[in-house]
């Protein structure tokens, strides 16, 4: 489709944008054209933002969240409890959980989940670091908050086994019918789980 444009810097920029997931060739073309409407300084700032990524990004030494400092803002927040660690796949999950305002512990960002299909083994994500951290800090509870995919389940189970010999409570976030969802449109697995894991109604009365 792009054979009519004989500009290698242009095609190169289009190709790079199209290499991102969910951005097709045509969208990339539009985006690069839009960039070309900006002045030279703005375009250079755009490019430099990504070059900066490669050498300036740091991760928190404790939870592996992305951070400017060796300890991220969550880990260095003394009003948050060290007793509970919530294990998540990536920082999008950190953001999602923080938005709920329902969690005041610390996180542990695995940076992926075990996926034999994609060649990601336990050694490729921060499981070893999690176990070390637990041994060192002795938290009371680990909340597993991974996706309910086959990979998520495998990662949950792997970590659960790794922690089995420790005196620590391992929990997992509740699965059930979403707030605002209708029963009749809920898939049977989710609905089944929400029945099995039903809770006393009075427990819901104090929730906001």
Residue closer to a second copy (CB basis): 12 or 135: 12
Alpha carbons 137 and 100: distance in angstroms, whole number: 25
Residue 63 · residue 106 · CB < 8 Å: yes
Q: In the bound complex, what is the minimum distance in angstroms from residue 134's beta carbon to a second copy?
A: 23
Q: How many CB atoms lie within 10 A of CB 67?
A: 20
Which is nearer to a second copy, 111 or 176 (by Cβ)?
Answer: 111
Give the shortest CB-145-to-a second copy separation in angstroms.
15
Nearer to a second copy, 53 or 205 (CB): 53
DSSP labels for 55-107? HH-EE-TTT--EESSSS-TTTT-TTS-SSEEEEESSHHHHHHHHHHT---SEE
Min CB(6)–a second copy separation in Å:
4
- What is the token pair recorded at 110? 């695995």
Residues that bind a second copy (CB under 8 A): 1-2, 4-10, 12-13, 15-16, 19-23, 26-27, 29-36, 40, 43-58, 65-69, 72-74, 90-92, 94-95, 98-99
CA pseudo-torsion sign 143, 159, 91, 35: negative
Residue closer to a second copy, measured from CB, 78 or 206: 78
**Contact in structure between 70 and 57 (CB atoms under 8 Å):** no
CB of 34 to a second copy, least distance (A): 6
User: Whose Cβ is closer to a second copy: residue 9's or residue 123's?
Assistant: 9
Least CB distance to a second copy at residue 116 (A): 17
**Smallest distance from a second copy to CB 126, Å:** 14
Which of 93/176 has CB closer to a second copy? 93
Report yes or no: 83 and 106 within 8 Å, Cβ to Cβ: no
CA 89 to chain centre: 4
Residue pair 88/95 in contact by the 8 Å Cβ criterion:
no
């Amino acid at each position: 489709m792009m054979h009519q444009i004989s500009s290698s810097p242009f095609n190169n920029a289009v190709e790079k944008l199209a290499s991102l997931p969910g951005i097709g060739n045509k969208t990339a073309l539009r985006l690069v054209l839009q960039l070309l409407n900006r002045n030279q300084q703005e375009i250079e700032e755009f490019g430099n933002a990504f070059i900066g990524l490669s050498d300036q990004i740091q991760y928190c030494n404790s939870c592996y969240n992305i951070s400017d400092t060796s300890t991220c803002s969550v880990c260095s927040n003394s009003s948050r409890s060290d007793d509970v660690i919530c294990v998540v796949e990536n920082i999008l999950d950190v953001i999602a959980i923080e938005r709920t305002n329902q969690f005041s512990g610390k996180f542990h960002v695995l940076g992926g989940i075990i996926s034999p299909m994609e060649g990601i083994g336990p050694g490729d994500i921060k499981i070893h670091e999690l176990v070390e951290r637990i041994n060192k800090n002795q938290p009371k509870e680990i909340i597993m908050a991974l996706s309910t995919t086959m990979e998520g389940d495998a990662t949950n189970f792997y970590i659960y086994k790794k922690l089995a010999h420790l005196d620590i409570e391992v929990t997992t976030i509740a699965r059930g019918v979403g707030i605002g969802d209708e029963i009749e449109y809920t898939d049977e697995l989710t609905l089944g789980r929400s029945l099995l894991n039903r809770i006393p109604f009075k427990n819901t009365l104090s929730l906001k």
